[in-house]
Structure 1
Amino acid sequence: MKTLTQTDTQLFHWLFGLTAKRDCRWIVWMSRTGDGHLYLLLGLLLWLFEAEHGALFLYSALLAYSLELPVYLILKKFLRRQRPCDLLHNFSAHITPSDKFSLPSGHTAAAFLMANLIASFYPSMMIFVYCWASIIGLSRILLGVHYPSDILAGAALGLSMSYFSLSLL
């Protein structure tokens, strides 16, 4: 476990070092596409204007997020992993995190959940949406608020909740 933590921290430092003294507005913007507003808007637009899959997509998304959010909150409170910007000395992130703990990444969980739903209903969008979700995860490291393992855990959470909701519906 110690080696895993050391590797995770080293990878974090290397990735964050790419942006440490740079203008990160585009990374902040990319990260904000994962804040959640876009997901609701997309779901509503598909429900209103896409007759074939829109309603089922919206219901799947609502179910998936209603399952993902409590699991995410329980994991955060139970694991209580401090964020890099709170744990590492002489270090400041590019943004202020929305909460105290980092594991799993909620932005990444939500992005991969949505990407998997979109890819399931609209397979032609698969490459685009998985790249977008990956960029959101990477942006959280580059901004200094998550370790790489937080991103992997968030992606696993989002994907599993998406698959589970699709299997229920």
Structure 2
Amino acid sequence: MDILQSLENIDKYVFHLINDEWTFSWLNGLMLLLREPATWVPLYIGVLFFIYKKDKQLAIPFLLCSIVTFAITDVTSASILKPMLARLRPCQEAGPDFSVNALVGCGGLFGMPSSHASNHFGLATFWFIAASCYLKQKWYWVWLWAVAVCYAQVYVGKHYPGDIIAGAILGIIGGNITMQLLYYWMQLQNKRKNTRAYG
């Protein structure tokens, strides 16, 4: 058995644990809630408000770079990598020898990388580095947030754990890219500020 087949078997085994053996009726509602975009709107508003209160100069660049992060990770995962890698979602492979406890609709045909994982890990990466650099705060909670959303994706039957890992890697890369954009943006703002002060 080659390495890829071994990894595939491990991935499906872990999926079975999360999606079947570790499911509970009292937990289903929470997992469905975690993966809904509307659930996190108050969080997004709260983060932006916090940034604005701490550093008004950072607020607009932070908001726009967060949007750019989401755009990069979402387009790359959904429109480029999923069709290229063409890995079927668990629900597309369900049959007599492979069962899926699907709590939501199947969605698209392909699942790698997970767009939920790439988007949330992208934002988590960007937010964590930005808060560390400009607010001198360590937002460790962003990683728990991203992991919780991603775990819910496997729990409800939308993705294999491997899809999540691939999405997380993409998100971390995307978040680092937009952090560089924020860095140069803030440098430019400071230069303009200094020019006006001494001009």
TM-score w.r.t. length of structure 2: 0.74
Q: Spell out, residue by residue over 1:114-140, the C-alpha distance to the aligned partner (whole angstroms, 9 max, x if none).
A: 111221222435221100101111111
Distance in 2 (alpha carbons) for counterparts of 1:42 and 1:143: 27
Given the superposition, is the C-alpha separation of residues 39 and 87 from structure 1 closer, same or farther in structure 2, using an over 3 Å criterion? Answer: farther
Higher helix share: 2
Q: Point out the structure with max Rg over C-alpha.
A: 2
Q: Which of the numbers 135, 143, 146 marks the counterpart of 2:159?
A: 146
Distance in 1 (alpha carbons) for counterparts of 2:39 and 2:23: 23
Distance in 1 (alpha carbons) for counterparts of 2:180 and 2:71: 15
Alignment of 1:25-64 (within 5 A): 25-33=29-37, 41=45, 45=49, 51-64=56-69
Post-superposition offset of 1:104:
0.6
Given the superposition, is the C-alpha separation of residues 9 and 34 from structure 1 closer, same or farther in structure 2, using an over 3 Å criterion? Answer: farther
Q: Could you tell me whether the CA contact under 8 Å between 1:34 and 1:111 is conserved in 2?
A: no
Q: What residue is the counterpart of 1:75 in the other structure? A: 81
Name the SS for the 1:126 alignment partner. Answer: coil
Post-superposition offset of 1:64:
1.8
Given the superposition, is the C-alpha separation of residues 44 and 164 from structure 1 closer, same or farther in structure 2, using an over 3 Å criterion? Answer: same
Q: Which moved more, 1:149-158 or 1:116-125?
A: 116-125
Distance in 2 (alpha carbons) for counterparts of 1:80 and 1:69: 16
Distance in 2 (alpha carbons) for counterparts of 1:58 and 1:74: 25
Distance in 1 (alpha carbons) for counterparts of 2:89 and 2:104: 12
Alignment of 1:97-112 (within 5 A): 97-112=106-121
Q: Which runs of 4+ in 1 moved over 3 A?
A: 18-21, 33-50
Q: Could you tell me whether the CA contact under 8 Å between 2:70 and 2:123 is conserved in 1?
A: no
Q: Which of the numbers 104, 111, 129 marks the counterpart of 1:120?
A: 129
Q: Could you tell me whether the CA contact under 8 Å between 1:111 and 1:133 is conserved in 2?
A: yes
The answer as to 2:10 corresponding to 1:7 is yes
TM-score w.r.t. length of structure 1: 0.86
Given the superposition, is the C-alpha separation of residues 56 and 84 from structure 1 closer, same or farther in structure 2, using an over 3 Å criterion? Answer: same
For structure 2, the residue ranges without an aligned partner over 5 or more in a row are: 183-199
Distance in 2 (alpha carbons) for counterparts of 1:36 and 1:106: 16
Post-superposition offset of 1:47:
7.4
Q: Could you tell me whether the CA contact under 8 Å between 1:34 and 1:110 is conserved in 2?
A: no
Distance in 2 (alpha carbons) for counterparts of 1:46 and 1:78: 39
The count of aligned residue pairs is 169
Identity of aligned residues (%): 22
